Amino acid sequence: MLTPDALTALMASHTPHAVLDVRERGAYERGHIFRTTSLPRRQLEVRVPTLITAPATPIALVDADGTLAPLAAATLGAMGYRDVRALDGGVAAWRSAGRRVVQGLNVPSKVFGERALHEWRTPQITPQDLMARIERRDDMVIVDSRTFEEYHRGCIPGSISVPGGELVLRIGELIKRPETTIVVHCGGRTRSYIGAESLRRMRLPNPIVALENGTMGWELAGLTLERGATRTAPEPGDRSRAQATATAARVASEDRVRALRADDVRDLWEQRRERNVYLVDVRSADEYESGHVAGAIWAPGGQAVQATDDYFAVRDASYVFMCDGSGRSIMTAAWFTRMGVPDVAVLAGGVPAWQDAGGLIDNGQPETPPFGWQAARAATRYRKPGDLGGAVVIDVGMSDEYARGHVPGAAWICRSRLESHIATAAPDRARAIVMTCGDGVGATLASTEWLATHLHDPDLRVLDGSWHMPAAKRDPRAEFVAAHIPRAAFFDIDAIADHTTPLPHMLPTPAAFEDAVGALGVATGDRVVVYDTRGVVSAARVWWTFRAFGHDAVAVLDGGLGKWKADGRPLESGDAKPMRRAFRAGRRPELVRDLISMRDNVTTRREQVLDARSAGRFAGTEPEPRAGLRGGHIPGSQNLPSDTLLRPDGTLLPAAELRRRFEGAGIDFARPVTTTCGSGVTASVLALGLHLVGHPHVAVYDGSWSEWGGRTDTPVES
């Protein structure tokens, strides 16, 4: 255990160390010890290997009162960390000893930003003055130095998204005259000042100012933000790159930023178990994913400076920044040097130089499983959705996800507090306990909020599964190219199909599915979120297809692209160019029905058949949209049009209401169900709904009415 005095001494020393606050982030924000890293206990197994590379590093753990840190210490000990101690009594003891705490997030960076403002006297402009200039149409360029996602949610009217780490590289594409004023803004203060000072170091003739208090100050002044903006700076040309390189060279000389050769960086990285080393790629996400130095983390320059305590836990580690050359890496390294970080360097020549030297290159985002994952997975027994046999269900996911939807009857416990709360939630030790979580994929439906938050998760793939009836005369691929969710790829239902039959979009072979899905950038271990342009329609078919081939880590975006747009979330245009990955398909025959099994069921009636077509098509009073099909339905089947499961905004009804709709259609939840429709698309909507309400035995008739109604030897009722 550490006393407050001992922790103070450790933090004041030059010994490389880490101080981790293992409370939840909200508690940390309300009051924490300065220069500690927020790392909730539930995230230890995932994040610590990257945050602390050397197992001998002294680690101090902080909690509220001394009860949580010892549990976290045991986890870190199992992970191989040899010098782990907890602050005796936690933050409460720290306060009792007369020590101060600070409030908020990323406080070290904010403190540095305020210092930069006063030391370098960054010129500022008030919201009122800027609004007056906008109304006068003064000659100026307004740039938002935050992430694109933050910019898109709300920015100063007319501003252009240029994340802080890209400013020096791209500003030349936005200004053509030396008298044009450049206004830099963020959400508050820090990134505005850092961005403005980065531009001032270019020695441009242009006036450069930071917006006082950013978008927060703008709204406090009674002014209105622009929502949903998508403007970005053009790709840098040769002149902009030369200007950025010259600026970086001068800054490196002024701030004494060291450049390491590829061999030196390789040697340093090989020592990471003995000393803490961070390889930091400051380029854009797309650049990073297209190829980065193996072991490098992604921290775009502006964000790395803004959130140093989130990205890095050991201040006295060795930092090596890298980009495609030197410009962005040197500018980021210079800021770290000015922040007082003692061991900072850049990779000379950037990623191309590393590759030329034979260095290992990785693609995509890192996919290292959490510590202990394989052992835990092997030792765990699994339950399928449905009747859990009286087990106690405990949800250990995020609380907000639990609030949006969870397994019926499940109790929520923060995973960090599982040991202290499980006895209350499950007092009967004889009852089975089923653990679940609400990560948006395991729950089958992903909200737009969840997807926006997790869009850049390394193991998440987003697919546009839009499809339209031929009579609609709409081209879903062209619509995808025009606008789609960032990082999405297009899943063509008609192309990823069995082309040996005239029936529409029948399931392909496992080998064909493996090849097609791998080409979309989906790997075997990835989580998949599927959406479409109509809410929840053809996306459900893609969801069912993945499950039919043994991939259960798939969810449907509730409300689809329409809900995403309505929420003001960002879009991309252009065709996707995913990197091929290895996908392995299995077979789940229990989820698929063919003509033979459907013929047999007409006689046995072992399974209930639920038809998703309109009431008129089911009854045979409306013509079928496909030529050559008879009217009517499979004998003994029930009818529930798939659109009756959706709200007007395209989202699915709540689970309780879904169940009432199924029961109203005559479905007995004690018996298996096979769903059918015109061609297996909206039948998947019914299958999705039944899955959501916990029905364990649901299949889809793949050929549906296109097969049954197109034959002359199948019985029909009307």
Catalytic residues: 677
CA distance 468 to 698: 25
Length of the chain, in residues: 718
Helix, strand, coil proportions of the chain in percent (round to 5)?
40, 15, 45
Task: Return d(Cα 226, Cα 373) in angstroms, integer.
Answer: 44
8 A C-beta contact, residue 11 and residue 35: yes
| Kind and range of the H or E run holding 675 | strand 673-676
- The answer to whether 315 and 341 have CB atoms below 8 angstroms apart is yes
What is the distance in angstroms between the CA of the first residue and the CA of the last residue of the chain?
78
Gap between the Cα atoms of 589 and 699, Å rounded: 9
The three state secondary structure string of 256-306 is: CCEEECHHHHHHHHHCCCCCCEEEEECCCHHHHHHCEECCCEECCHHHHHH
User: Closest by alpha carbon to 701, among 682, 667, 672, 675?
Assistant: 675
For 25, the enclosing helix (H) or strand (E) is helix 25-30
**CA angle 586–531–401, rounded 5-degree value:** 90
Beta-carbon contacts of residue 28 (< 8 Å; ≥ 6 apart): 21, 36, 38, 105
Sign of CA dihedral 401, 404, 405, 411: positive
Report the Cα 316 to chain-centroid distance in Å.
30
Residue 91, both tokens: 């933050």
Q: How far is 610 from 249, CA to CA, in rounded Å?
A: 69
